[in-house]
């Protein structure tokens, strides 16, 4: 397992899968170990995935200062990884909450960003986040599935703050709820640093007007990939986020939820690979 040292001395780990040109991958959660990404549905057959364990997650050490869990503070770790890998410019993929970190990296280091893929991410740095109504609207697309009424009631209670998140809510995050999806959902708690997650989206981490201004000058191609059945973010919210990037395209994966590489790996890999093969 390779490691490198962040600017503050924290030892960070990353995992490599596949061969070929590197694709640096920033996990979501927030603050979930990169193990949940697997090989991104087989994307490792086309690119060498460099899966970063953010500080305090997976095989990376916890920092001395918990304030460094803040999303904007983590940009330095991504840059330290680029330097460690010896890359002049890098292709970057961020999933969910990791997309916020990847976008902040591109805003701060535009000349180091070759291509940017943002998968099912609402972009808090732009002041965008999924609303409870977005999630309920997306959930209703599944209303013909067995057990919908009980699951929908649980989702509504969770969104209202009346109960904790539980496995009965998890099916709304997947395009299909099978054994693989259940195992993926069940692994989340053990893979997530809850204290770090609470600090990740600190409002002080973001300055939406400044970020929009920086991203408006980004010359790199950007792919936003949304899941048709995802409510956080919905395809509509994804399109709003894409408006802040001058060279962005939006792809909506049919039948997919928040983890599209699990729902239809072939579709996901084909679309992401096509984007990564474009000139940067």
- Spatial distance between the Cα atoms of 107 and 92, rounded to a whole number of angstroms: 13
Per-residue pLDDT band for 280 (boundaries 50, 70, 90) equals confident
Biggest CA–CA distance in the chain, Å, is 52
Element (H, E) at 52: strand 48-53
pLDDT at 140 exceeding the cut of 80: yes
Q: What are the pLDDT digits (tens) for 164-195? A: 999 999 999 999 999 999 999 999 999 999 99
Q: Whole-prediction pTM value?
A: 0.97
Report the candidate in 125, 93, 129, 85 with the shortest Cα–Cα distance to residue 108. 125
68 vs 20, 64, 257, CA distance in Å?
32, 9, 30
Q: What are the pLDDT digits (tens) for 58-115? A: 999 999 999 999 999 999 999 999 999 999 999 999 999 999 999 999 999 999 999 9
Q: What are the pLDDT digits (tens) for 106-115? A: 999 999 999 9
Per-residue pLDDT band for 122 (boundaries 50, 70, 90) equals confident
Q: What is the pLDDT of residue 17?
A: 98
Q: Decide: 97 and 193 in contact? Cβ < 8 Å.
A: no
Per-residue pLDDT band for 15 (boundaries 50, 70, 90) equals very high
- Locate all alpha helices (DSSP H) within the chain, ordered by sequence: 75-85, 97-108, 132-139, 148-159, 179-186, 188-191, 194-200, 208-215, 235-242, 260-263, 265-276
Please, what is the angle between helix 148-159 and helix 132-139, to 10°? Answer: 180
């Amino acid at each position: 397992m390779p490691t490198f040292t962040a600017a503050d001395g924290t030892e960070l780990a990353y995992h490599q899968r596949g061969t070929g040109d590197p694709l640096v991958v920033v996990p979501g959660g927030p603050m979930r170990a990169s193990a949940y990404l697997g090989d991104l549905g087989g994307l490792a057959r086309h690119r060498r995935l460099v899966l970063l364990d953010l500080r305090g997650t997976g095989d990376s050490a916890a920092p001395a200062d918990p304030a460094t869990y803040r999303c904007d503070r983590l940009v330095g770790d991504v840059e330290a990884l680029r330097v460690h890998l010896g890359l002049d410019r890098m292709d970057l993929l961020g999933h969910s909450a990791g997309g916020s970190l990847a976008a902040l990296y591109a805003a701060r280091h535009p000349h180091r960003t070759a291509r940017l893929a943002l998968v099912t991410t609402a972009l808090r740095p732009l002041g965008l986040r999924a609303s409870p109504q977005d999630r309920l609207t997306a959930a209703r697309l599944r209303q013909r599935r067995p057990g919908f009424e009980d699951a929908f009631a649980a989702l509504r209670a969770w969104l209202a703050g009346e109960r904790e998140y539980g496995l009965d809510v998890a099916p709304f995050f997947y395009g299909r709820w099978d054994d693989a999806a259940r195992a993926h959902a069940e692994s989340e708690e053990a893979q997530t640093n809850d204290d770090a997650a609470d600090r990740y989206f600190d409002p002080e981490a973001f300055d939406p007007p400044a970020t929009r201004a920086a991203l408006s000058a980004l010359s790199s191609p950007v792919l936003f990939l949304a899941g048709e059945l995802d409510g956080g973010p919905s395809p509509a919210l994804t399109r709003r986020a894409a408006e802040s990037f001058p060279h962005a395209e939006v792809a909506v994966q049919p039948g997919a939820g928040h983890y599209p590489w699990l729902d239809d790996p072939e579709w996901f890999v084909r679309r992401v690979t096509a984007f990564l093969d474009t000139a940067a």
